[in-house]
Amino acid sequence: MLQEIAYTSIRVLVAYFLLLFLTRIMGRKMISQITFFDFVVGVIVGSVAANLSVSQKKPIVSGITVLIVLALITVTLDFSHVKSLFIRKLTNPEPVTVVENGKIIEDNLLKTRLTIDNLMMLLREKNAYNIADVEFAMFETDGKLSVLKKSQKQAVTPSDLNISTTYAGVTKDIIIDGELMEDNLKNVMLNKDWLMGKLRENNFTRIEDVFYAGLDSIGNLYISSKNRNY
């Protein structure tokens, strides 16, 4: 009994860390932008990993081999997609236009097996509550709907009104969980003395007391305390 539990535990650990490693190799696209091919690979990988974890009849080497081969196929095809338009079309379908100039294209709805109810739901998720306001709606290969509203129905931007705006860049992480991000501080041409001065202005004496600190594009430092209330 104990031997069987130990053996199963080892198989589960092997399957878990192998999947973690192979997923890193296959890339984040498989999670964020899943296509038909990625879905098929994901189903097979899940089934093989489950068998690898609990099946005592099949040798562990066979399961590991299958997972590695699947990962190699996925990586090879991903590189092929970058280089070859033919392979991209072969493995992944093209986006389908389901709304054009405010009119639903019924043939394309049938082709994608998308109902009116589902289409309206996807449009509402894009803040398009009236089909007449939509210039184009494309049903993408990952099952998401891309929507372009007609120009007169789009939100007004500062550039439309000739209003100048302040540049808003990405906030730089300076302190995370009490640890100084020295490379980020150097990238913004600042030093630790400047940082400590800012911290003292906000009643902090140690970096370790700061849960998070971030610097925006205009030099404002946001500080969140750690284990203290300010």
Task: State pLDDT tens for residues 107-158.
Answer: 999 988 888 899 999 999 999 999 999 999 999 877 889 999 998 888 888 8
Q: Are residues 9 and 78 in the same domain?
A: yes
Q: Taking the C-alpha atoms of 138, 77, 50 and 25 in order, what is their torsion angle to the nearest 10 degrees?
A: -100
The total number of structural domains in the chain stands at: 3
Per-residue pLDDT, 198: 92
- Out of 89, 105, 130, a domain closes at 89
Q: Residues 74-88: what's their mean pLDDT?
A: 75
Q: Are residues 106 and 83 in the same domain?
A: no
Q: Residues 194-213: what's their mean pLDDT?
A: 92
Asked if the structure places residue 164 within a domain, the reply is no
Per-residue pLDDT, 56: 66
Asked if the structure places residue 165 within a domain, the reply is no
User: Does residue 162 or residue 107 have the better pLDDT?
Assistant: 107
Q: Which helix (H) or strand (E) holds 29?
A: helix 29-32
The pTM (predicted TM-score) of the whole model is 0.56
As a whole number of angstroms, the distance between CA 49 and CA 65 comes to 11
Asked if the structure places residue 61 within a domain, the reply is yes
Strands of 96-100's sheet in order across: 103-104, 96-100, 134-139, 145-149
DSSP-assigned letter for residue 151: G
- Per-residue pLDDT for 28 more than 70? no
Asked if the structure places residue 160 within a domain, the reply is no
pLDDT-derived band at 19 (thresholds 50, 70, 90) equals confident
- Out of 72, 89, 106, a domain closes at 89
